[in-house]
Amino acid sequence: MDRRECRAFLDRWFTISFGNPEAGKRHAAEGLAHVEALGRPPDLYARALAIAGSSCRQRGELEKAEAAYRRALEIYETLGFENHEHALDAADLWRRIAYLRMEQRRYDEALAAANHAALAFAAARSWDRYGRAVLTMGTIQLTKGDQSAITTLSKSLRFLDANTSWEFHFSAVYNLAFALSRVGEPTAETLETALSLLTGARLSVRSRFRNPSARYTGGFRRKTPPDALLRFLQGRILALLGQHPEARELLESAREDLIELEMPLEAAMVSIELAECYLWLAGPRRWQKIEQLCREVLGLLAPVPGASEAMTAYQLLQRAVAAQSAQAVRRQLVNAREKLGQR
C-alpha cells in the first residue's frame, strides 16, 4: 500500500464506523498498521491518530481519545500549516476535538473548537468540510438544549453534499429533525416538518442500502443503523402527536434492530420513548412491560464504558415502576433521557 492508498483507506473510516463503533475500531487499528508499514510518515500518522481517537471516543474511551488527539495536534504543530492538506487535516482534528469536549460536557470549549475548524475551512474555501464543522456546532447546541441548534443545523445542510458526504448530510437531517421535536416547545407544525424531513431521509437510506436479494423488503436491508434511528425518531414524534399505537410499533422495531446491531446506548434511548408509550396502556400490563424494558436495558449497558450514570437512572426508573406511580415514572424518564443525552 502506497501513501495515496493509505490516505484513501484512512478517509473511509467515517463511512465504515457510521453506526458501527466496533467496525470503526478494527479499521482504525488497521490504518495505524498501514502507516507503521510505510515508516510512519508524520502527516499520515497524525491522520491515523485522529481517526483512532475518534474511534475511542465513539466507544466512550474518552481518556484514550484525548491522548490520541493531543499527540496528533503536536505533530501538526511541528509540521506547520503552510501545506494546504496539513492545514485542512489539522482543522478536521479540531472538529473531532469539539465532539470530545461535548462528551466531556465542556460545551464552551466544544463550540470554540468547532468554530476554529469552521473558520479554517472557510478560509480554505473548503465548503463541504465547512458544512461538517457547522454540523458539529449545531450538534453541540442541540446537546445543550439550545434553540439556536435549529438555525445552525439548517445552515449546515446548505453546504453538505448528499452525494459526496452522505453520512454527514444524513446526520444533519437527523439532528435537525431531532431539534425540531425536542428543543424549546415543539408545535404540531414543527413536528410535522420533522416528520417530513425523516420521510425524505428514509427514502435516501433505502436508496443507499439497497439489497436486491431482500425481496420481502422491496430490495432494502432494513436492519441498518440509519433506518433504525430514523424509525426511533419517527416513533418519538408520533408519540408527541398522540399517535401511540403507531409510535409503539416503530419504536419496538427500532429497538429490536439496534440491539441486534449492538448499539446499546441507542437501544436504551429508544427504550425511554417506548416506556413513555407503554404508560398509555391500560391495567397492570404497562408496569410489566416497563419493568421488562428496565431489566433488558441494564443488561445492555453493563459492559458499556462510562454508562454508570445512565444505569443509575434506569435503576431509579425501576423503583418508580415498582411503586406503580405514573408521575414518578415520567419524572425518572426525564432523568434517564437527560443522562443518556449527556452520555
Is residue 18, in this structure, part of any structural domain at all? Answer: no
CA distance linking residue 74 with residue 68, whole number of Å: 10
Q: What cell numbers appear for 139 in the block?
A: 450538534
Is residue 278, in this structure, part of any structural domain at all? Answer: yes
CA distance linking residue 284 with residue 267, whole number of Å: 24
Is residue 268, in this structure, part of any structural domain at all? Answer: yes
Is residue 276, in this structure, part of any structural domain at all? Answer: yes
- Cα–Cα distances in angstroms (integers) from residue 56 to residues 28, 60, 66, 96, 179, in the given order: 9, 6, 9, 11, 26
Is residue 294, in this structure, part of any structural domain at all? Answer: yes
Lowest mean pLDDT among 136-150, 163-177, 207-221, 259-273: 207-221
3-state secondary structure 150-205: HHHHHHHHCCCCCCCCHHHHHHHHHHHHHHHHHCCCCCHHHHHHHHHHHHHHHHHH
- The residue among 175, 184, 182 whose CA lies nearest residue 156 is 175
CA distance linking residue 66 with residue 40, whole number of Å: 20
Is residue 315, in this structure, part of any structural domain at all? Answer: yes
Q: What is the mean pLDDT of residues 29-33?
A: 91
Q: Which residues contact 35 (CB under 8 A, 6 or more apart)?
A: 6, 10, 41, 44, 45, 48
* Per-residue confidence (pLDDT) for residue 216, from 0 to 100: 33
Q: Which residues contact 299 (CB under 8 A, 6 or more apart)?
A: none
CA distance linking residue 271 with residue 274, whole number of Å: 5
Q: Is 244 helix (H, G, I), strand (E, B) or coil?
A: helix
* Per-residue confidence (pLDDT) for residue 213, from 0 to 100: 40
* Per-residue confidence (pLDDT) for residue 341, from 0 to 100: 66
Sign of CA dihedral 37, 39, 44, 49: positive
Report yes or no: 282 and 266 within 8 Å, Cβ to Cβ: no
Is residue 147, in this structure, part of any structural domain at all? Answer: no
Instruction: Report DSSP letters for 19-57, one per residue.
Output: T-HHHHHHHHHHHHHHHHHTT--HHHHHHHHHHHHHHHH
* Per-residue confidence (pLDDT) for residue 281, from 0 to 100: 80
Sign of CA dihedral 19, 25, 27, 31: positive
Report yes or no: 262 and 326 within 8 Å, Cβ to Cβ: no
pLDDT digits (tens, 9 = 90+) for 308-324: 888 998 999 999 999 98
Q: What is the mean pLDDT of residues 27-44?
A: 92
Total structural domains within the chain:
1
- The residue among 231, 320, 134 whose CA lies nearest residue 334 is 320
pLDDT surpasses 70 at 254: yes
pTM here is 0.85
First-to-final CA distance of the chain? 38
pLDDT surpasses 90 at 137: yes
CA distance linking residue 201 with residue 87, whole number of Å: 33
* Per-residue confidence (pLDDT) for residue 18, from 0 to 100: 72
pLDDT band per the 50, 70, 90 thresholds, residue 128:
very high
Structural domain boundaries, residue 320: 263-343
pLDDT digits (tens, 9 = 90+) for 205-225: 888 776 534 333 333 345 678
pLDDT band per the 50, 70, 90 thresholds, residue 91:
very high
Is residue 206, in this structure, part of any structural domain at all? Answer: no
CA distance linking residue 326 with residue 343, whole number of Å: 25
* Per-residue confidence (pLDDT) for residue 220, from 0 to 100: 39
